[in-house]
Structure 1
Amino acid sequence: MSHKRIPKRKAAIAAGSVAALGAAALFLPNAMASQTGSDDATASARTFKAADVSDLASQLASQLGDAFAGSYYDAANQQIIINVVGDNSNVINEIKAAGAVPNQVQNSTDTLENAAATLKADATIPGTAWSVDPKTNEIRVTADSTVTGTSWDTLESTVEGLGSGVATITKSAGTFRTFVDGGDAIFGGGARCSLGFNVTAGDGTPAFLTAGHCGVAVAEWSDAQGGAPIATVDQATFPGDGDFALVKYDDPATVTASVVDIGDGQTVEIGQAAEAAVGQQVFRMGSTTGLFDGTVLGLDATVNYPEGTVTGLIQTDVCAEPGDSGGSLFTQDGSAIGLTSGGSGDCTVGGETFFQPVTTALEAVGATLGAGDAAGDAGAGAADPGAVEPGDGASAPGAGGDELGGAGDQSGDTGDDSGSGLDDGSGLVNINP
């Protein structure tokens, strides 16, 4: 990526029509007003938040046994949909009694899990990915532009061999890659990434989460291009069972805030980590492209990057670009959902993007979300999510450069937004309290 960054103050004016500003607008108080469905089948169902899906689905899965076949969130009607195999009236009634909506489907959980295992065994091809899509009750298989010839034939025959209605293939115009690029403005060792969420490490010291492929590539990270390191990688996983890294601040007295900087002095306070739900609206912040929103499309995704296979990811239709790696995936109400891993496309043409679940990363590294006593020190810069207005510059390309301090021009020069490398107190990191 080599496009010139716009100075942040100009971005608020020049990017008024940028699609990403729609993401900022969605933080307005009425953005998620309830829409009551009129269909008789769902009229008696309760309304829920997307964050409720995981707990209710787990409860019903234990009650329903083999009849349970996944769940997803109907954002338009604020309802939880529970997939079931068969027409057992007792099962249907249990789902309705819990306030959810039953949805009879063809494929059981075992069928879909076995299909994913077959894909792993027979079609682990660089440039492919798959995840469970409970909305269609199928495995969503995606092949990027590099999957051609015999590789495509192998993938296609494997999917066909799974049986009718078990999996579908979508061809992506882009190329699957991790979103780190040595040619962009960078923060450590030739790689630019984004900070995800501030956390407290198991030993009580301040740290942050970012993408594992960033942590594997670079041991020390700075908050300014060419600046002195301020944090060192403690643990990193990539490829394999995830894409996450725990990076500890070198100074144990570092004061941080549990917020996401969405640009132009606006922040969203992060209060908890939560599981993703298919159909859920999510927001992604990255140091290259700023703020964008989209929807969760699939869970437990497997992505075959050129560097190796990564499992257990979240699939979305949110765009991202090189340099956004490790950035925050979160919800309007301040739940931490994921860390940007990679995908295809960009924020001009769109594409698929995959995220590391925050809950899994926290458990693996033994950290807790937030900054302990410092979490309440976000100060006046922390905005109520409902206070973010269109035109705040939150989502213009280049407006998110304060993830780890001012990053300067993407092409490597400091340009109009060189920054001091110090966060202004309204962003994710405050290294000089």
Structure 2
Amino acid sequence: MVTQAAMASETPATSAVPDDAAQSVAGTGVNLVKKLGTSRTAGTWIGSDGRPVVAVTDEKTAATVREAGAEAKVVGHSMNELKSATATLRSAPRVPGTAWVMDYKSNQIVVRGDKTVSAAEWSDLTKVASGIGSFVRMERTSGTFTTRLNGAQPILSTGGRCSAGFNVTNGSSDFILTAGHCGPNGSAWFADNQADRQVGQTVNSTFPGSDFSLVEYASGDAGQGADIVAIGDGNGVRITGVGDAAVGQRVFRSGSTTGLRDGEVTGLDATVNYPEGTVSGLIETNVCAESGDSGGPMFSEGIALGITSGGSGDCTAGGTTYFQPVTKALAQLGVQLIVAAPSDIAQNGASPAPSGGAQPSSSPSESSVAPGAATPGSTTPVTGGVDGATLVSRLTDPRNVGPGLLVIAGSLVALAATRYIRAEQDRKAYQRYYSATWG
């Protein structure tokens, strides 16, 4: 189920930031990769000192990288070879429970299989990998690769329980950007146990392939705190821009089940073969997540980066979580992120942005912040809760509702709302399908 993560105690001035005005966190490294080409480079990441590192295939290219102020690492395989390897994997028979990603730091393709993959399937996939070359690394992983459904917030849709990502607009109406697997077009979203308070309806959904959707507010207006994502303990982070994630970057994720968690981007352009279908182009991280965190926002230094898709593991043992890049979703949906106005950024201790549009509160350039020093962004109180506020923070803060009450609330929602969603037979089939949680 989706719960709204953008809220505040008073109405801040907000604005939409167009994609071309947003700055990318990839910075110098990505610019060098674009300039030098995929036949001479093999990706870029952020080093432990915050400097960009570029993988290159020869010493001449390495010298060019060093002259530009970045660190160079000579590797044996170009980006073209890595992409060719992933294309071969995609052309092989699809095996649910598997995923692969380019590991720029090791210059390898890492193929992972969860516990649902049989020995025979894993053997067949290993043969495909062996035919590609020794730079394809096979790894078994604990748990199962699943989308993040059946969480604990009392808001119901046809797709299950999720978290909202970011508030966006097309200039005339406002929407919640969340995961596509949370519900297909026409899914209704509710904000109360009686299923008579409708938040909105899914008007555009893409899954599988990609994993994003738009929920249009019933009122057409995101309301108060549209530029804030709740992070628990009555606090939120102001979202000031949108960008692309970089390998090695420290990132933060907020969800309705597990609250604020952090970790590192470990790969880009990942492919995950969920039971429901294959999703490509994802951001791979070692941030933990659990059921109900689907669709929640990932960000760093106030810059929107991704929305939670799925993964394996939990926040006790750890795991791998994949995110849909926000930039790609915005471009395909034709919407813009709602961000904090410059005056609000300045009031919260960040440097004021130039007039003429909202800008990131901190420099999102790849070399500006070492991974360990990165923060979620400028924080602000989230203390709403009165009628008229936009799904105030109590709906996104898991500590506000006890575990027992969450179970009861979820049951009440299921009983009260499913009569609006599907017939009894379909409801039973749906419950059986989504009854499994993460392994």
Q: Which runs of 5+ in 2 are unaligned?
A: 1-22, 351-360, 362-374, 381-392, 414-439
CA contact 2:254–2:296 (8 Å) conserved in 1: yes
Deviations 1:318-365 (A, max 9, x none): 11111100001111x101111000011111111111100011111111
SS of the residue 2:280 aligns to: strand
Deviations 1:172-193 (A, max 9, x none): 1101110012x74441236211
Q: CA 1:194/1:408 → structure 2, altered by over 3 Å: closer, same or farther?
A: farther
Pairing 1:25-36 to 2, within 5 Å after superposition: none
Paired-residue identity, %: 42
Per the alignment, residue 249 of structure 2 pairs with 280
Pairing 1:373-388 to 2, within 5 Å after superposition: none
Per the alignment, residue 236 of structure 1 pairs with 205
Residue 412 (structure 1) aligned with residue 407 (structure 2): yes
Q: Counterparts of 1:401 and 1:208 in 2: how far apart (Å)?
A: 18
Residue 117 (structure 1) aligned with residue 110 (structure 2): no
Pairing 1:17-416 to 2, within 5 Å after superposition: 54-65=26-37, 66-74=39-47, 76-88=48-60, 91-164=61-134, 166-181=135-150, 184-189=152-157, 191-200=160-169, 202-216=170-184, 219-227=187-195, 228-240=197-209, 242-256=210-224, 257-331=226-300, 333-370=301-338, 402-403=395-396, 409=403, 411-414=406-409
Q: Counterparts of 2:143 and 2:288 in 1: how far apart (Å)?
A: 12
Q: Counterparts of 2:219 and 2:346 in 1: how far apart (Å)?
A: 19
CA contact 1:189–1:218 (8 Å) conserved in 2: no
Q: CA 1:121/1:385 → structure 2, altered by over 3 Å: closer, same or farther?
A: closer
Q: CA 1:104/1:185 → structure 2, altered by over 3 Å: closer, same or farther?
A: same
Per the alignment, residue 41 of structure 1 pairs with none
Q: Counterparts of 2:167 and 2:268 in 1: how far apart (Å)?
A: 24
CA contact 1:223–1:404 (8 Å) conserved in 2: no
**CA RMSD after TM alignment:** 3.1
Q: CA 1:326/1:407 → structure 2, altered by over 3 Å: closer, same or farther?
A: farther
Q: CA 1:385/1:314 → structure 2, altered by over 3 Å: closer, same or farther?
A: closer
Q: CA 1:371/1:226 → structure 2, altered by over 3 Å: closer, same or farther?
A: farther
Q: CA 1:385/1:288 → structure 2, altered by over 3 Å: closer, same or farther?
A: closer
SS of the residue 1:117 aligns to: helix
Q: CA 1:387/1:249 → structure 2, altered by over 3 Å: closer, same or farther?
A: closer
Give the Å deviation of 1:402: 2.6
Q: Counterparts of 2:244 and 2:283 in 1: how far apart (Å)?
A: 10
Give the Å deviation of 1:54: 2.3
Q: Counterparts of 2:181 and 2:109 in 1: how far apart (Å)?
A: 26
Q: Counterparts of 1:163 and 1:385 in 2: how far apart (Å)?
A: 39
Give the Å deviation of 1:298: 0.6
Q: CA 1:247/1:276 → structure 2, altered by over 3 Å: closer, same or farther?
A: same
SS of the residue 2:77 aligns to: coil
Q: CA 1:155/1:187 → structure 2, altered by over 3 Å: closer, same or farther?
A: same
Per the alignment, residue 424 of structure 2 pairs with none
Per the alignment, residue 392 of structure 1 pairs with none
What amino acid is aligned across from residue 396 of structure 2 in structure 1? E
Per the alignment, residue 44 of structure 1 pairs with none
What amino acid is aligned across from residue 257 of structure 2 in structure 1? T
Give the Å deviation of 1:254: 4.1
Give the Å deviation of 1:245: 0.5
CA contact 1:258–1:378 (8 Å) conserved in 2: no
Give the Å deviation of 1:204: 2.4
Give the Å deviation of 1:133: 1.2
Q: Counterparts of 1:254 and 1:412 in 2: how far apart (Å)?
A: 28
Give the Å deviation of 1:401: 5.9
CA contact 2:251–2:298 (8 Å) conserved in 1: yes
